[in-house]
Structure 1
Amino acid sequence: MQFNRKALTNAQLINFYHELLYPRLIEEKMLVLLRQGKISKWFSGIGQEAIAVGATLALESDEWIMPLHRNLGVFTSRKMPLHKLFMQWQGNHEGYSKGRERSFHFGSKEHFICGMISHLGPQLAVADGAGLANQLQQKHKVALAFTGDGGTSEGDFHEALNVAAVWNLPVIFIIENNGYGLSTPVNEQYRCKNLVDKAIGYGMEGVQIDGNNILEVYDTISGVRKYCIEQQKPYLIECMTFRMRGHEEASGTKYVPKELFDIWAEKDPIKNYEEYLLNEQILTPSAIEDIRHNMKLAIEEELQIAYQAAPMVANTREELADVYAPAPPVEEPSENMRNNSATTEKPHRLIDALKDGLDLAMQKHDKLILMGQDIAEYGGAFKITEGLLEKYGKNRVRNTPLCESAIIGTALGLSLEGFKSMVEMQFADFVSVGFNQIVNNLAKIHYRWNQNADVVVRMPTGAGVGAGPFHSQSNEAWFTHVPGLKVVYPATPFDAKGLLLASFNDPNPILFFEHKALYRSVTGYVPNEYYEIPIGKARVAQSGSDLSIITYGAGVHWALQYCAEHTDSSIEIIDLRTLLPLDYDSIRNTVLKTGKVLVLHEDTLTGGIGAEISAWITEHCFEHLDAPVMRCASLDTPVPFNTTLEQNFLAHARLAETIERLLNY
Structure 2
Amino acid sequence: MSTTTTLPPLTYKKYRTKKATQQALFQQLLRPRLIEEKMLKQLRQGIISKWFAGIGQEAISVGCAAALESDEYLFTMHRNLGVFTTREVPLERLFAQWQSKPGGFTRGRDRSFHFGSQEHKIVGMISHLGPQLSLAAGVALRHKLLGEKKVSLAFTGDGGTSQGEFHEALNTASVWKLPVLFVVENNGWGLSTPVSEQYACKQLADRGAGYGMRSLTIDGNNILEVYETVTKLAAEMRENPEPVLLECLTYRVRGHEEASGVKYVPKEEIEAWQQRDPVNNFADHLISKGWLTAEERKAMEKSIKKEIEAGLKAAEAMPATEGDVARELEEMYAPSTLPAPATAPGETSEMRVIDAISDGLREGMRAHDNLVLMGQDIADYGGVFKITDGFMAEFGADRVRNTPLCESAIIGIGLGLSIAGGKAMVEMQFGDFVTCGFNQIVNNLAKQHYRWNQNADVTVRLPVGGGVGAGPYHSQTMEAWFTSVPGLKIVYPSNPADAKGLLIAALADPNPVLFFEHKALYRSLTGEVPEGYYHTEIGKAAVARPGNDVSIITYGMGVHWALKATEELGVDAEIIDLRTLAPLDHDAIAASVKKTSRALILHEASLTGGFGGELAAWIGEHCFEDLDAPVRRLAALDTPVPFAAALEADYMPEARLQGAIEALLAY
Residue 110 of structure 2: which of 94, 101, 105 is its match?
101
Contact 1:54 1:217 in 2 (8 A): yes
Unaligned runs of 5+ in 2: 1-9
Residue 594 of structure 1: which of 593, 596, 599 is its match?
596
Tell me the residue number matched to 1:127.
Answer: 136
CA deviation profile, 1:209-262 (whole Å, cap 9, x unmatched): 000000000000011101211221000000000011100001110010001011
* Aligned equivalents of 2:342, 2:241: Cα separation in 1: 45
Aligned-pair identity in percent equals 59
Cα deviation, residue 332, structure 1: 4.1
SS at structure 1 position matched to 2:529: coil
Residue 381 of structure 1: which of 384, 403, 428 is its match?
384
CA deviation profile, 1:287-318 (whole Å, cap 9, x unmatched): 11111111112211111111111122111122
* Aligned equivalents of 1:553, 1:328: Cα separation in 2: 27
SS at structure 1 position matched to 2:475: coil
Residue 182 of structure 1: which of 191, 207, 224 is its match?
191
Are residue 523 (structure 1) and residue 526 (structure 2) matched?
Answer: yes
Which amino acid in 2 is paired with 1:496?
A
Which amino acid in 1 is paired with 2:129?
L
Which amino acid in 1 is paired with 2:348?
T
**Counterparts in 2 of 1:304-315, with a 5 A limit?**
304-315=313-324
Tell me the residue number matched to 2:356.
Answer: 353
* Aligned equivalents of 2:599, 2:325: Cα separation in 1: 31
Tell me the residue number matched to 1:267.
Answer: 276
CA deviation profile, 1:439-498 (whole Å, cap 9, x unmatched): 000100000000000000000000111101010011011111000000000000000000
Residue 502 of structure 2: which of 499, 517, 542 is its match?
499
CA deviation profile, 1:180-211 (whole Å, cap 9, x unmatched): 00000000000001000000000010110000
Which amino acid in 1 is paired with 2:25?
F
* Aligned equivalents of 1:311, 1:360: Cα separation in 2: 47
Contact 1:4 1:215 in 2 (8 A): no
* Aligned equivalents of 1:408, 1:658: Cα separation in 2: 40
Change (3 A) 1:610 1:277: same
SS at structure 2 position matched to 1:480: coil
CA deviation profile, 1:73-131 (whole Å, cap 9, x unmatched): 01111100111101000100111000001111010111111122211110000001000
Tell me the residue number matched to 1:637.
Answer: 639
SS at structure 1 position matched to 2:123: coil
Which amino acid in 2 is paired with 1:278?
I
**Counterparts in 2 of 1:544-563, with a 5 A limit?**
544-563=547-566
Contact 2:432 2:464 in 1 (8 A): yes
Cα deviation, residue 606, structure 1: 1.0
Tell me the residue number matched to 1:656.
Answer: 658
* Aligned equivalents of 2:379, 2:232: Cα separation in 1: 35
Residue 26 of structure 1: which of 21, 32, 35 is its match?
35
CA deviation profile, 1:581-638 (whole Å, cap 9, x unmatched): 1000000000110000000000111111111111111101100001000000000111
Contact 1:460 1:516 in 2 (8 A): yes
Tell me the residue number matched to 2:248.
Answer: 239
* Aligned equivalents of 2:476, 2:291: Cα separation in 1: 67
Unaligned runs of 5+ in 1: none
* Aligned equivalents of 1:244, 1:81: Cα separation in 2: 27
Residue 145 of structure 2: which of 130, 136, 143 is its match?
136
TM superposition score normalised by structure 2: 0.98
Contact 2:103 2:315 in 1 (8 A): no
Contact 1:354 1:384 in 2 (8 A): yes
SS at structure 2 position matched to 1:525: strand
SS at structure 2 position matched to 1:603: strand
Which amino acid in 2 is paired with 1:508?
N
Which amino acid in 2 is paired with 1:386?
D
TM superposition score normalised by structure 1: 0.98
Tell me the residue number matched to 2:348.
Answer: 344
* Aligned equivalents of 1:529, 1:237: Cα separation in 2: 48
Cα deviation, residue 11, structure 1: 1.8
Cα deviation, residue 8, structure 1: 2.8
* Aligned equivalents of 1:547, 1:563: Cα separation in 2: 10
* Aligned equivalents of 2:634, 2:339: Cα separation in 1: 32
Tell me the residue number matched to 1:391.
Answer: 394
**Counterparts in 2 of 1:217-366, with a 5 A limit?**
217-334=226-343, 337=345, 343-345=347-349, 347-366=350-369
Contact 1:4 1:216 in 2 (8 A): no
Tell me the residue number matched to 1:54.
Answer: 63
Residue 540 of structure 2: which of 537, 542, 548 is its match?
537
Q: Which moved more, 1:395-404 or 1:229-238?
A: 229-238
Q: Which moved more, 1:506-515 or 1:287-296?
A: 287-296
Change (3 A) 1:409 1:4: farther
Tell me the residue number matched to 2:436.
Answer: 433
Cα deviation, residue 653, structure 1: 2.1
Tell me the residue number matched to 1:164.
Answer: 173
Which amino acid in 2 is paired with 1:435?
F
Cα deviation, residue 272, structure 1: 0.6
Residue 472 of structure 1: which of 459, 469, 475 is its match?
475
* Aligned equivalents of 1:164, 1:268: Cα separation in 2: 34
CA deviation profile, 1:249-283 (whole Å, cap 9, x unmatched): 01110010001011101110001100000000000
Contact 1:330 1:533 in 2 (8 A): no
Q: Which moved more, 1:321-330 or 1:461-470?
A: 321-330
Tell me the residue number matched to 1:583.
Answer: 585
Which amino acid in 1 is paired with 2:623?
C
CA deviation profile, 1:407-462 (whole Å, cap 9, x unmatched): 00000000011111100000010000100000000100000000000000000000
Contact 1:5 1:215 in 2 (8 A): no
CA deviation profile, 1:349-394 (whole Å, cap 9, x unmatched): 0000001101111110000000000000111111101100111000
SS at structure 1 position matched to 2:17: coil
SS at structure 1 position matched to 2:605: strand
* Aligned equivalents of 1:312, 1:511: Cα separation in 2: 32
SS at structure 1 position matched to 2:154: strand
Cα deviation, residue 330, structure 1: 4.1
Are residue 146 (structure 1) and residue 149 (structure 2) matched?
Answer: no
Contact 2:539 2:584 in 1 (8 A): yes
Cα deviation, residue 344, structure 1: 3.3
* Aligned equivalents of 1:19, 1:628: Cα separation in 2: 68
Change (3 A) 1:550 1:330: farther
* Aligned equivalents of 2:104, 2:242: Cα separation in 1: 36
RMSD: 1.0
Tell me the residue number matched to 2:222.
Answer: 213
Which amino acid in 2 is paired with 1:276?
H
* Aligned equivalents of 2:124, 2:296: Cα separation in 1: 36
Tell me the residue number matched to 2:448.
Answer: 445
* Aligned equivalents of 1:41, 1:502: Cα separation in 2: 42
Contact 2:547 2:575 in 1 (8 A): yes
* Aligned equivalents of 2:315, 2:429: Cα separation in 1: 50
SS at structure 2 position matched to 1:43: coil
Cα deviation, residue 333, structure 1: 4.5
Which amino acid in 2 is paired with 1:525?
E
CA deviation profile, 1:483-519 (whole Å, cap 9, x unmatched): 0000000000000000000001100000000000000
Residue 79 of structure 1: which of 82, 88, 94 is its match?
88
Contact 1:461 1:473 in 2 (8 A): yes
Runs of 4 or more consecutive aligned structure 1 residues displaced over 4 Å after TM superposition:
4-7
Cα deviation, residue 6, structure 1: 4.4
* Aligned equivalents of 1:333, 1:12: Cα separation in 2: 59
* Aligned equivalents of 2:556, 2:218: Cα separation in 1: 55
